[in-house]
Amino acid sequence: MDKIKKGVVINDELSEPLAGHVIDYLLSFPKETPFLDFKTTMDVGKDSDFPKIVKDVFAFSNNGGGYLIIGVKPNDHSNKDIRGSFIKNGLPEDYEADQATIQQKINAYTDNPIEIDYTQFERMVNGEQRKFAIMFIPASTSLLKPTRDGIYKINGVEKKAFLKDTPYVRRGTQSIPAEPPEVARIQKRIEDENYRLSLLSGEPDKIEERLFSNIFEVKSIPKRIHIGTAKFSNYFEDIQHLQEKYPGVRHFPLRYRHYEDKIVTFQDLSDSNDLHHELVLRDDISHESTGSWLDDGPKENIVTSLLNKEIGEQARRQGMRYFDKTKKIYYPTTADSRIESWPTRYKGVSNKTVAKKMWAEQLHRSVFVHLAAKVSIVKLGGKFFLKLNLTRVISDDGRNVSKGEREGTIITRSGYNTFNNQYLNDVLFWINKLGNAEDVKVMDDFVISIDPVQTTMNRGISWDIPTSEIKFFIENYVPEEDESEEDGEDNEL
């Protein structure tokens, strides 16, 4: 059985991995193979033996792909009337496991996400309708090694299903650590597989290709850190004081950190019109060079934290909401949906649905799904950058974030199919909105580039621009002197 990307070839016919006839074909196997494993059940709960499943996933993916069928158990031959090595007993009626949860738990052990396919199905076995589940594991495009040990417990005793940094492979019907010759075979398979995957969209050529990232260079940071002796001992006392002094005010845009008995901020503590001025003793205010704080670990962390707080306030100034605990920005809505316009890469204006009310089957109620981005300042190679990670948040009222395990599955599912070009467009959307289509000027001396960090490589695919982009270019091309703005529709939630 040959694997081609997310399809499988059976009798020279390319099929979807979990098509009905593929499932029937696999279920007809009397025993396990290098690309097929049977499991009696699968428990995704905490402290379960799910890491044993993860080991099989790593081994199959390194080996070139494969399947797990859940609901088939080894035959102990206690019933002499039942023949064969395995029995298709099926699963209990109350068995439930969803793809988002499985995906999340598998990818917790790797830096290279494995996009499995999973479904539950029923089949007639010995005159009875029985429930099964099946998981398809695609071939990896790099040598997979777990990033941590696969630890689980049985009767309180700790076990290890697999070891960190160890590649696993299928040898016969077992998932085991790969020996050097097997590693070499995996790497050769990856080279061949990657080349074949490239053929699906174009031939690989020795051409220079630009790669865009989701990080943006910080052009400048505030030169001074203002320091004052704190009047109060913590944030809650600070807020209580401000609420008493300014009754009726709902939001106080504070961007500071408590450090020892001091308050530290980029805001001018000597300015009597600044809220931060209310939180310090007025006869003990000073400032220091920001640079002097970048050579000390704890102090550098405070600088990074203050930069993140300023980014959050910048988002609020642009009409967004900022969820401080997770550093996520998103647009609230008072209607059933909200649309934001932004200038695209094609010199036109596009509309993006950033919040929308939808029915959530998992919660049995309607919720709002908001496009969101996690914004964080990171330091790489001695320089600061803004990193944008795309995500979603859920709210019940269009404004305030809802949290919980079931809400998390909605976020995972709704973001599951965001890939390369669309990902770049969404990253550019957020940086444009943060800076009003210009460099993001958070403060006079805190500026972030609107252009993503990019690099080039000397091998790529010629004419691998998505068809939609080529069509847009052809249909909207006009001579330079007659260029005009075009309106377009961007992706929906």
d(CA 354, CA 433): 12
pLDDT tens digit sequence for 373-416: 999 999 998 899 999 999 888 899 998 888 665 555 555 444 43
| Alpha carbons 37 and 69: distance in angstroms, whole number | 6
* Domain coordinates in residue numbering, the chain: 2-200, 208-220+316-493, 222-293
pLDDT band at 182 (very low <50, low <70, confident <90, very high): confident
**pLDDT in the model for residue 343:** 85
Average pLDDT over residues 321-325: 85
Q: Which residue is associated with the tokens 């009337």?
A: 81
Mean pLDDT is lowest, of 20-24, 418-422, 472-476, for 472-476
pLDDT category at 460 given cuts 50, 70, 90 is low
Read off the pLDDT band of 201 (50, 70, 90): very low
Q: Is the pTM of this model over 0.75?
A: no
